[in-house]
Chains A and B, each alone.
Chain A
């Protein structure tokens, strides 16, 4: 039994299923409508697998005009719609509901234009994150945000969640790396936000759209910034005897004016799990490990690493491992980026995403351990230390309803603790359904009301991804 509630399905929508399917079929003249139950099953959940809802139907448009036709139909017919990229959301952002259709962007996966002189790529929303970087790697460019799921996740989903990644300490998250969006509004209107240029005038609707979790419209196309790849990059492993020492080392590096491109933290359990999976050569005799990556020419890297090493020594670093080749570097990152998948081999887990001020990291880690232990569960910590974005993985057995309830209760306590330490509920995964009912812990009623009033400008009837982000009680319509 899961305790996050979905709104009860609207019987008037369910009763009209045949008419709705006919209307959608008309909006998709080239096919792409999924109605058979066994095929709809593939869309019933995302990476928050404890929750499943079978959608009414799945529409897979292959053009922006088809998206417009679908949305126009949904609005007119009063049908709910849940946009979906690759379905890798860890917060349940793409989980549908029985009285909703899924609008899947998987067919819209073309890279439309690469412009290296103006340093942008124009892509359809269903293009994967990694495909963009791969398309320009040979020319010495890349797209910066790099969520761990970048092989699978789409740019449309990244925009919906304002995704981050390991390297956003230096390069920022999705919102900092977009130039333009083409968005379909619920009434079928297509609007262009931004463009090929920086800082378009007017209200920053692109910034509002980014991270709006599919509630304001459907992103069909994006113009993303391309950055020149650094001359070189080198990750180094630093092992510590305690979480406190590692956390203090991170704060000291930042305090010294050094901004590595990434600073990733793993605790003992996470190290063991990832090492068993990726054989990255992680030290197994330490309590905590940092992966710190610096960029530049070989000389620049040497100089910066020397500064970092001196700070690490002041914090009692126990093991240091510099990689000697590109292959070793890739192994180090493979271990880190497969952390969630590797953990999934050991146990079921829920992944939290709270952020705390970096100075509070040691305290947050300690309290996370205490909270999870008090619920009788285990936790593996692997996260972006440079920006305080924690990812405690709470291990439990998904087939044991009591354990699931305990895991969720522990997760809630951890997220509330993050807010109480001056942080937030979610750093990069989004609110989805998972954190929806905790919003009142971070925001006042007036804060939430203002957000909902803005939402209502785009979707007055709560048709787009309606079960998400805002607590079900007290919703404000137009």
Chain B
């Protein structure tokens, strides 16, 4: 048996045994899944790989309950295909990082949980953490633990599901995740407005998202992203007659901004895949890419304040998510964080070379009080720091 295979457990019990053994030997692990998001977070330490590759497959799928439970190593693509066949979907439209990283690999369910990976529909259907209703993990004591379950409403005990989702594997090895689902919309359409500047685009998106028309995606692409002019997009989804009605109403509402027509079906889907995966920033490869979450009304002012430090940018979430390309340098990172400070919000360095993710804070730095809590929670799950040490913060 090769060494890599030795650390690819086939069951939760086996994973727990490996971790107990690691605790005894002082062994550290980096958790890997499909290796499609290795660029997320701070660079890997020199731990051995603990892979979810063999923890794959569906635990159960109940279409009539709109619930699915999956082992962590299950490829996302396989899940989405299975759900589509039953007219359902993961509500949060998880981003695929491969275009941005120019990486191979296969995104897995475990990666979605670890990174709380969501997409444009986050504004209407919530993030991955909102659909995640149960997890099983192996903690750093080598104990198999569950939190949540398979029902949509569950407030029994502390909600460790939320802690685990977005913890980038620092609290334990996720072995299983249960999601609630949504019906896959029968139809989608996207209203388009051309040639708005950033501020007007955000005003238009704010009007649309404050309307009762159920906008499930609101993004603004700047000139050069697919066209030489700027374009602002508003997606509606649902039953065919309902989509038709709401597109009509949106075009009326947004007429003062110049709304006239809508993209439908495959054209619309292709566009939102691009927004979801930030593919407009994939090139040039040497640039750093940032994901900045802030109050939507502040998006344009933040970008304006950055001036030339913003080499390229576009907006999702109605202006509340700014995707930003910068020089891959410490100085650019400092400029971005300094510009963001007065607006409030969080900047995450999503793509950069290892050296830069080592020296620049990948996640928004924490206050001393939050650092203490974060370190305490890490220790409560993983006292010997077996999993993904320093993946999020130095020293934790």
Contacts and interface: CB of A to CB of B under 8 A. Distances in A.
To the question of whether A and B form a pair in one complex, the answer is yes
A203 B380 contact: no
A162 B203 CA distance: 33
B364 interface: yes
Contacts of B162: 175, 204, 206-208, 210
Contacts of B155: 161-162, 173, 211, 426-431
A204 B370 contact: no
Interface in A44-73: none
A21 interface: no
A141 interface: yes
Contact of B156 (A206, A228, A252, A431): A431
A119 B210 contact: yes
Interface string B293-323: 1111100000000000000000001001100
Given A117-B297, A197-B346, A457-B373, A423 B211 contact: no
B200 interface: no
B143 interface: yes
A178 B276 CA distance: 23
B170 to A, nearest CB: 8
Contacts of B249: 297
A201 B346 contact: yes
B156 A447 contact: no
Contacts of A431: 155-157
B209 interface: yes
A255 B63 contact: yes
A254 B88 CA distance: 11
Given A172-B126, A191-B369, A210-B159, A424 B348 contact: no
Interface in B126-147: 126-127, 129-130, 139, 143-147
B105 interface: no
Nearest to B153: A427
B154 interface: yes
Contacts of A164: 153
Contacts of A258: 183
B82 interface: no
Contacts of A161: 155
A146 to B, nearest CB: 14
Interface residues of B, number: 80
A304 interface: yes
Contacts of A450: 139, 143, 145, 147, 160, 380-381
Interface stretch (B71-79, B237-245, B261-269, B328-336): B237-245
Interface in A426-470: 426-431, 435, 439, 442-444, 446-451, 453-458, 469
B392 interface: yes
B158 A455 contact: yes
B210 A116 contact: yes
A191 B87 contact: no
A84 B366 CA distance: 29
Contact of A231 (B156, B165, B212, B363): B212
Nearest to B118: A199
Contact of B370 (A162, A191, A469): A191
B23 interface: no
Interface string B358-396: 000001101101100110110111000000000010000
Contacts of B377: 203, 454, 457
A195 interface: yes
A338 B99 CA distance: 53
Name the residue in B126, B139, B155, B182 with the highest tally of chain A Cβ atoms < 10 Å from its Cβ: B155
B66 interface: yes
Contact of A453 (B126, B150, B364, B380): B380
Given A119-B209, A189-B369, A201 B167 contact: no
Nearest to A180: B344
Contacts of A397: none
Contact of B67 (A299, A357, A425, A456): A357
Name the residue in B62, B210, B345, B366 with the highest tally of chain A Cβ atoms < 10 Å from its Cβ: B210
Contact of A197 (B166, B206, B294): B294
B116 interface: yes
A363 to B, nearest CB: 14
The list of the 7 closest CB pairs from A to B, nearest first, reads: A207-B162, A257-B183, A427-B153, A457-B376, A255-B64, A453-B380, A196-B295
Interface of B: 62-67, 87-88, 116, 118, 122-123, 126-127, 129-130, 139, 143-147, 149-163, 165-167, 182-184, 206, 209-212, 214, 239, 241-242, 245, 249, 293-297, 317, 320-321, 344-346, 348, 363-364, 366-367, 369-370, 373-374, 376-377, 379-381, 392
14 contacts: A117-B210, A117-B296, A118-B295, A197-B346, A199-B346, A257-B183, A303-B241, A358-B64, A424-B151, A426-B155, A431-B157, A435-B156, A454-B158, A457-B377
